[in-house]
Structure formats: structure tokens, C-alpha cells
Amino acid sequence: MTHEKFCDGFLVFSSLAPAIIEGSASCEPNLVVVVLVGVPGSGKSRFCSSVIENASQTWTRICQDIIANGKRGTKAQCIKQATIALNSSSSVFIDRTNLNREQRLEFIEFAKKRGVEAHAVVLNLPVGTCITRAMNRTSHEGGLEGKKVGAVIQRMAHGVELPALEEGFSRITVCRTDGDADECIVAYRSLSSSSKLPTGVFDRNSSSTTKGSLEQFLNKPGGGQKKAGQASSSAASTKKGVESAAPELKDGDGSMPQASEESCATLAFPSISTADFRFDHEKAANIIVETVSEFFSRAESSGLRLVLVDIDQGSDMLSRVRSKAESAGLDSRKFLVTHGDITKLHSTGGPRCSVIANAANWRLKGGGGGVNLAIYRAAGDDFEEATKKYAKTLDPGKVVAVPLPASSPLRTKEGVTHVIHVLGPNMNPQRPNCIADDYSQGCRLLRQCYAALFSTFASIAKGQASKAKVTASPASNSSSPGSSKKGKAEVGKVTGEEGNPASGTGTLKAAVEEKAATKKPVNWPAWAQALHDVAFHPEKHSNVVLEVTDDCVVLPDLYAKAKKHLLVVSRKAGLDSIADVTNEHLPLLREMHAVGERWAKKLVEEDNTLVFRLGYHSVPSMRQVHLHVISQDFNSPGLKNKKHWNSFTTSFFRDSRDVIAELESRGKLEECTEEMEKRLLDSELRCHRCRCVQPNIPRLKAHVCSCSKPLPLQSLIS
């Protein structure tokens, strides 16, 4: 007979438990740490309690919302209680959102150290379902309930990074419906000390993963066991993770679309006015299909493709539009209807989109939630300023196209060159410019939105095609008069950024080699050589060096710009600045990141109010590649002027993970020109939390100390 025991925010269902001595007990071979992944309202707590009630073995639910005597606690407290649970021969559920790699990493490392498997159960239910549940619930442990919860969940859904086997999980199960979750519950209920779930990725709705009833995967007599090698095949096929955002772009016969992605300029757009603006879905779906049909009947649409995107796989709008598009006979190779994060389509296996549309607000600012917030965050710090150059506000029914700055992560990672802001008609009385139920005016404005959006996209695509022809023509014949190394390098640059082999003589490799050959030596002043000296002679600086490895040294920044500010300095010769690195240096940069991350976590354990960011200056002031590990309070007398502030809060400060990702995808980093450097460092003083402008450093510091806005969703460590 089991009984329920409540202790420090976790539930244990067990018979008389043995005495608990932390760190002393050895774990049984088939104990498991299950990391739940899902936004609020996805059913994580229900999943845990449903397994625990009738489980074949003892389970412990660890919930960070209540772990500190009924109040929200820390990861460290979760790890401590997980240790106690494993020592008492109990498997563990980690019940928190765990929406990205950083949030999951410590739990995976903990399981590895204890010699038990780490599983992920992804509750990837439709966002609308999660919002409805969260709004209707009462007395939630974390207090996330009521009318305001919708915007919170929408924001969190845009930040989801679904788990991959390479993170260290031995098994990942993706549940997209309550039925999937129920089958998964049965599987974990049946798990006992004499049975074991097989490794791999299990997602019946993904063509790249193992499908079928989850019950059959139990390793017990009569159960369907995986054949040898099946798990490794699954792991290989899902190397990039289980991406619900990766759409299955298929024709009616199940084949991939025939239109070449490289020859097909693509616009990704959300449904306009159907979220916060509450436009009737049936009317909106009709307008989308009609305006798309009209667009493809015109000559300007030749060679172009449109992609309707919604974050929610079970979206009512996607379902309606997909059905109507099929009835209208629209070519699915030209008009795709899919789900995913519009800011991450290409990197998650979807189409490469040169232009994306934003369902904007009339102020053209990055507030609110949903698509608007996600695009502003993904586009980078300079996007709002870039938008202001083209428009300060926007009227319903209108659009404005904004070229992305060269430093924008959307451009460097996803290949997006333009964002087209669109403001649709508003039917929500709680939002500005409400036209209530006037659907005569509303339908007219919405048609105007889509027509203007598609025409603007066609103009951008035409301009890009013309520019590409002009740029390529000087080097199209290597023997023609006037052809030069510079011309060849330009062709290489154009084709290389698109990921295509260059036709003719210009290649990305040639451009890189030419740049290296013509690179001017930098005459570093004596004071700028200090880090170089520490890197290669750390024994002379034992009074300041915190750590020395074969690859790097760690030391405090002598002129710290925040409460805690460390430098991880490379010990590899020939790397004066981040501009010198190529993909051959990826192992070094990964090691430097790991060292910096470890020190950041150590400092957070000492002071849990600290939040850290890791990154490089685009143009460093001191010789030798060095990674900044800097707390985001910026509370230091060393931060004195505009250049100090902007060097850490604009895109001049390159996030460590972004640098690694760009090297992996392009083999080199985009150059920061003198013009870009001056523009970024001389830009106005903006709070890195709420983005408001302050007139001077003292006023900015005073504001930052009191600003309560959450930090932007970057690669933060807290």
C-alpha cells in the first residue's frame, strides 16, 4: 500500500522508505530522471500525478514552483531533492517548463553523474489548448492562471527549443495530443526495476522518428523491442532535435515540393488580425485564400513562393486555410501552409525565407506578445531603430518593408533580408483603433493588407534578383577585360551567403583566402598587449589568474563593467581578435564557452540575483581573442561612458552561441566594418531591459537599477 508524502515541495509515493543519506546510496540500474518539457497548461503536473498514482515503481515529482517550503525555489534545490529521491530508490520527474537546452543541461548532467538515464517527455500540445487550460484553472502552484496568462504562454511558446538526443537524453517522447500523453503515461506506469524503455526518439507524427503505440516499446516479455541498430538510426535522423517547428512540406502524393528553394524567393507570413485583434477565422481564411489566388494569377508572382505559418500545430486558422486552398486548387509547391516559429523556419528544417511578415502594432515597437515580440527579439537590438528610418507609426491596412541590418541574427542565421510590417483591422475593444463588428470595413482592410504585403514582397524579390545579376556580371567571364580579384571576391560573397557553390570563378573560399592574404597587420599599443602576455605567460600573473587550461586562461576584467565580469582568454597563437577565427577554431570556442558557462554558474550559486551573458566584442580593444562573462546588472564604477554601455548592449556584443552557430553554418564570421562599429557604439543610450532611451550614463544607471522588465530572451545564465 503506497501513501502520499509531501516534503519540501515534492511528492513521494512509496512504501516505508529507507533512511535517506544524501550521496551515500547507490542507484538501481533502471532508475530514470524524466525531464518534462512544455509551456504552462500543457499538462506536466497531470502527467506526473497520473503516472505516480498507479506506478509499478516509486516516483518523485520535483516541482520548482513549490520546492522552497511551498514557494518557488532554485535549480540547485531541485538537484538536491533529486539526489535524495535517487538515494531512496525513486525515479524522478523534473516538473518545470525546461523550454531550452540551458534549462535542461544541469538535470542531464546530474543524471549522467548518478549513472541513470535521462529521458525527455515533450508535451507539445496546441498553444491554444494550453492557454485555455491555464486561463480556466484556479489555485495553480506557480500562480500562472487567469486572463493575463495567454500572452505569457504565447511568448514562452516562441522561445521553445525542443530537445535533441545530442543533449544527453537517451530517450525523447513527443506528445502532441492528450491521447499521446495518455499512452506515454501507461508506458511510464509500467516501468519497473526489471524493465527498461528503449532509447531513441518517439514521435508518431514525425516522419524521421519511430512511430507506433508507446506501450509496445516496453522491454518485457511479449513487448515489441527495437531491433538492433534502430535507436542509433533514430538518433542520427534527429541529430538536430525533435523539432515540431520543422514542417513536413509535402505535396498531395507525399513528395517534397518540386520548386527549387534556391530559385524561389519565399515570403513567410502569419495570419493577420486573428490573434489579439480577434478577426473572425472563417472570414480571414477566405480572404487569405482569395488574395493568394489573385496574387498567383499575376505575372509578378512568377518564381515566388508564399508560406503561411502559425506557431501552433493544431491551429484553427491553418486547418481552415489548408482546406480552402485545396478546394481552390492552389499549387502546394507555391503556397505552403505549415506550423513553426516564423523566426526559425530554416534552422529547424523548414524553407529558407528571404522575407517575413510581422503582425505589427501601430507604434511599430517590439512590445506585446506573439509574432511581433518574437520578430523584434530575433531581429536584434538595432531592428527597432532600423524600422524608425522608414516609418514611425502604421495605419490599419498598410504595410512597410524594412531591410534588416547586416548584423541582425535573423539575417545571419536565417537568411532573412527584409521584414514587412503589416497592421490589420482590430476587432478587440481592448486594443487601439477598434472597429468593433464592422466586418464590411474589416474585410476591406484585411484584403488591403494581404494585397499590399504580397505586392511589396514581389517588389523586394525583383530588386534582389536584379541586384544579383548586376553583381555577378563582372566575373561571369574570368577572361573578360576589367575582371579582377575584387570582382571575383564579390561573386563569392554573394553566392557563399546563400550556401550555394558559385558559378564561374568567384567562390567563398577564394574570397576568404583573398581577405587573409590582404589583411593588414595591426600595430597593437603596449597597453593592449596585456591579455596576450597573460595568455602565454600565466605563471607571471598568478596574482590575478583564476584558472589555466591548455586552451585558455580565466581572469577578472581589470576594468569591470558590472558586478561580476570575467575574461576567458584564448591561448592559441595567431588569434588576435574574433575576426580571425574560422570553423577550424570551433573546438576552441566551444571549450571557451564551456569554461565561461561553468564560472557563470559558480558565481550564480554564490549570488542568485546575478544573470550572465557570454560574448565577444566585434572589434576588441585588446589583443588576443577573449570571451566576456558579464553579469547583466552593469552596476560598476568602471562603466563610465556611451561606448562602454553600447559595447555590451547592442549587436556589437556578439553572443557566444551565435558566434559558434555562424561559424558552423558559414565557416566564417560577418565582418564588422568601421561604419558599423561607429554606428553601434555611438547609438543612443537604451536600457537593455525595456529599451527606453536615457539622456546620460548617470540617469541610465539609476533607471537600470529600478527597471523591472525581464531581460530579452538571449542566451542568459541564471
C-alpha grid cell for residue 687? Answer: 536600457
List of residues 6+ apart from 330 with CB closer than 8 A:
289, 292, 293, 296
- Greatest CA separation found in the chain? 90
CA distance linking residue 323 with residue 289, whole number of Å: 10
**Cβ-contact 515, 607 below 8 angstroms:** no
Q: Which one is catalytic: 339, 346, 421, 626?
A: 626
Task: Please tell me the number of Cα atoms within 13 Å of 475 on its side-chain side.
Answer: 23
Q: How many other C-beta atoms are found inside a 10 Å radius of the C-beta of residue 486?
A: 12
The helices-and-strands tally (H runs, E runs) of the chain is 21, 23
* Number of Cβ within a 10 Å radius of residue 361: 21
How far, in Å, CA of 96 to CA of 655, rounded?
26
Determine the angle formed by the axes of helices 149-158 and 127-136, rounding to 10 degrees. 150
386: three-class secondary structure by DSSP? helix
Which residue has 525523447 as its cell numbers? 172
117: left (phi over 0), alpha (psi -120 to 50) or beta: beta
Give the closest residue to 589 by CA, choosing from 677, 508, 654, 647: 654
Query: Quick check: is 541 catalytic?
Result: no
Q: Identify the H or E element spanning 238.
A: none
Closest CA to 192 of 49, 89, 62, 79: 89
Sign of CA dihedral 477, 478, 480, 485: positive
Backbone torsions φ then ψ of 566, nearest 5 degrees: -110, 160
Q: Which amino acid is residue 433, in one-letter code?
A: N
Judge whether 681 and 641 are in contact, CB under 8 Å: no
3-state helix, strand, coil in the chain (%, to 5): 40, 15, 45
Residue 197 is given by DSSP the state P
Query: Which residues are designated catalytic?
Result: 626
